[in-house]
Structure 1
Amino acid sequence: MMGPVLAACLLIILSTAWISQANEALCKKDGGVCSCNNNKNSVDCSSKRLTAIPSNIPVDTDRLVLQGNKLSSLPNTAFHNLNKLTFLDLGYNQLQTLPASVFDQLVTLEMLRVNDNQLESLPRGIFDKLTKITYLDLEGNELQRLPDGLFDKLTQLETLYLRDNQLRRVPEGAFDSLSSLSKLELYNNPWDCSCNDILYLSKWIREKEGTVNGIESATCVDNKAVLDITEKDAASDCVSPNTTTAIPTSTTTPASVIYDDIHEIKVPQENFQKFLGYQEPDHLPTQPQCLMSISGYLGLMMSLMLTSAAILYVFHFLKKA
């Protein structure tokens, strides 16, 4: 009866090895593209030309670096299994939007970088679950506005970067809940100091001057300091940056003119390529990614063959018994 026992042990060992390989296939030592430090639960996937987040990041990862890739979007569940993360770096990608619930599972996160992307807006409540965060970097985007209550839950936040965006104003009370804030950078934004909505920010800066670093450098589009703005300066009502001008209806274009111009419409080459399903080479798998896929496939096939052999071995001895 020792034969079947040994075979069963072999089966367990092989299964464990296969699971371990599946969990670590993203690491360089296993043919992956990322650098992994298992002792520190750290995964570094920076500057790997990735267009998607690897799906096999270990669940006990504490530090994840994805900066310098080609990520243009994130799925809602991108980080849902990584509830032990304390550091996440998404800087220097091509993110244009963020799903409202993408960070909801990161309840232990302390540092988040989403700097130098292409974000024009943020969903309401996107940071509400990050109650332990102390560092948030949103600089170098194209943010035109901030939703109401964006920072209301971030009572432990100490450092906030909003510089190098397209902000003209912030909502009333935007920073009131940031009781732990010690640094806030606001410069290189086109603050509209003719609009009376700027008065909240101006008053807040004056009140926090000397206790929150970096806020004094915020300047209006005419280079006047925001903290010096008075009610007289900001007398105009605000106009939303999303306001559009109605199309005049007093004049119409003859249909014949429209028809004659159709043949002159030129379709951009990139749009025509997208219509045909063409993809730029940058979006195709890179050589390390292909090697990772091949390595994983071969490892899986080998594990299945060995597992099948072990099962047949067990049945053989059971039949004899």
Structure 2
Amino acid sequence: MMGPVLAACLLIILSTAWISQANGATCKKDGGVCTCNDQTKNVDCSSKGLTAIPSNIPVETTELRLEYNSLSKLSPTVFHRLTKLRLLYLNDNQLQTLPASVFDHLTKLTILWLYNNQLQSLPKGVFDSLTKLTYLSLGDNQLQRLPNGVFDKLTSLNDLRLQTNQLRSVPEGAFDYLSSLSLVTLDTNPWDCSCRDILYLSNWIREKKGTVSNIEAAECDGGTKAVLEITEEEAAEDCVYPNTTTAIPTTIITTLASSNDDDIPELPVPQENFQKFLGYQEPDHLPTQPQCLMSISGYLGLMMFFVLISAAILYVIHFLKKA
């Protein structure tokens, strides 16, 4: 009577071994371009020259480092599986835009680094799901404007970096819902202090001075005056800028017509005990030799698994017939 029991045990053992092999397929000692740490759930793909994000990042990952690569765009669903992410590093890439839904599933994210890219604008609602975010770095980009309400859901945010962009004003009420803010960097932007749109920012800086750090560093374009010193008389023009609903000031049009030309600290991350991370796939590129070997070994393992399962089933049937 032990025959069927032994066969059943064999099936269970084989199934468990196969599942373990499948779950561990993304973290091995050889091959792949990223490294991962099973204990800390960290995946490091930084400084790899990537033009696409690896497709098989473990779903348990809590920290993902993608900085210092060559990423120029992101798929709208690239992070949707990674619902446990808490830290995401996308800084020092070549991102020119962000899909509106790219962060929608990252409801546990607390730190997001996007500085030193080529972002010129942000889609409306791009950060709406990041209600636990405490740090957002958008400095050293090319942002020309901010959409209305882009920060409204970030009530836990205490550190916002906007320095070294092309911002001339911020929408009315842009910072009103950021009740936890303790630091905002606004310097090195061409704030247009001749336009009425600057008055919200000027009044906000005066109100939060002494409560929110670094905001007094915001200066009018040309460095002639601090934004918080601007009066209603000085900001008298109804100015609007490209990509908005109103006209461009005459002075700007004249200037364009006459033209002839078309220190942030890194958070420490454990680096020891990293294992190699497999499963890298980059669209429109041939797989590397380690990838091919991994695929072949995976298929052979799968075939062996089914052969053993079939043998176990045939053994059970044969035993039952003899019984």
Bin for the TM-score computed over the shorter chain: 0.7 to 0.9
Structure 2 equivalent of residue 236 of structure 1: 237
Distance 2:192 2:242 in 1: 11
Asked whether the 8 Å contact 1:18–1:300 carries over to 2, the reply is no
Distance 1:65 1:171 in 2: 32
Distance 1:283 1:302 in 2: 25
Structural mapping, 1:261-280, within 5 Å = none
Structural mapping, 1:102-181, within 5 Å = 102-181=102-181
Asked whether the 8 Å contact 1:50–1:70 carries over to 2, the reply is yes
Query: Is the counterpart of residue 16 in structure 1 residue 19 in structure 2?
Result: yes
Distance 1:292 1:208 in 2: 55
CA-atom RMSD, angstroms? 2.1
1:317 is paired with a residue whose SS is helix
**One-letter amino acid matched to 1:162:** L
Distance 1:195 1:80 in 2: 41
Structural mapping, 1:73-88, within 5 Å = 73-88=73-88
Distance 1:180 1:296 in 2: 48
1:232 to partner: Cα distance: 1.5
1:303 is paired with a residue whose SS is helix
1:32 to partner: Cα distance: 1.6
CA offsets 1:30-50 (integer angstroms, 9 cap, x no match): 422111111111111101111
CA distance 1:126–1:11, change in 2 (3 Å): same
CA offsets 1:3-53 (integer angstroms, 9 cap, x no match): 53354134313421331233x2xx462422111111111111101111111
TM-score by length of 1: 0.82
Distance 2:311 2:13 in 1: 10
Asked whether the 8 Å contact 1:96–1:120 carries over to 2, the reply is yes
2:304 is paired with a residue whose SS is helix
Distance 2:59 2:42 in 1: 11
Aligned residues: 280
Structure 2 equivalent of residue 265 of structure 1: none
1:295 to partner: Cα distance: 3.2
2:311 is paired with a residue whose SS is helix
Distance 2:57 2:98 in 1: 20
TM-score by length of 2: 0.81
Structure 2 equivalent of residue 101 of structure 1: 101
CA offsets 1:52-89 (integer angstroms, 9 cap, x no match): 11111111111111111111111111111111111111
Unaligned runs of 5+ in 2: 250-281
State percent identity of aligned pairs.
Answer: 53
1:184 is paired with a residue whose SS is strand
Asked whether the 8 Å contact 1:184–1:212 carries over to 2, the reply is yes
Asked whether the 8 Å contact 1:62–1:87 carries over to 2, the reply is yes
Structure with greater helix percent? 1
Query: Is the counterpart of residue 70 in structure 1 residue 64 in structure 2?
Result: no
Distance 1:56 1:86 in 2: 18
Structure 2 equivalent of residue 261 of structure 1: none
Distance 1:179 1:318 in 2: 67
Structural mapping, 1:187-198, within 5 Å = 187-198=187-198
Unaligned runs of 5+ in 1: 246-281
1:319 to partner: Cα distance: 4.2
Asked whether the 8 Å contact 1:10–1:310 carries over to 2, the reply is no
| Greater relative contact order (CA < 8 Å, ≥ 6 in sequence) | 2
Structure 2 equivalent of residue 249 of structure 1: none
1:5 is paired with a residue whose SS is helix
Distance 2:30 2:299 in 1: 15
CA distance 1:29–1:285, change in 2 (3 Å): farther
Structure 2 equivalent of residue 222 of structure 1: 222
Distance 1:225 1:83 in 2: 42
1:285 to partner: Cα distance: 5.0
Structure 2 equivalent of residue 307 of structure 1: 305
Structure 2 equivalent of residue 278 of structure 1: none
Distance 2:191 2:69 in 1: 31
CA offsets 1:127-161 (integer angstroms, 9 cap, x no match): 11111110000011110000000111111100000
Distance 1:320 1:239 in 2: 83
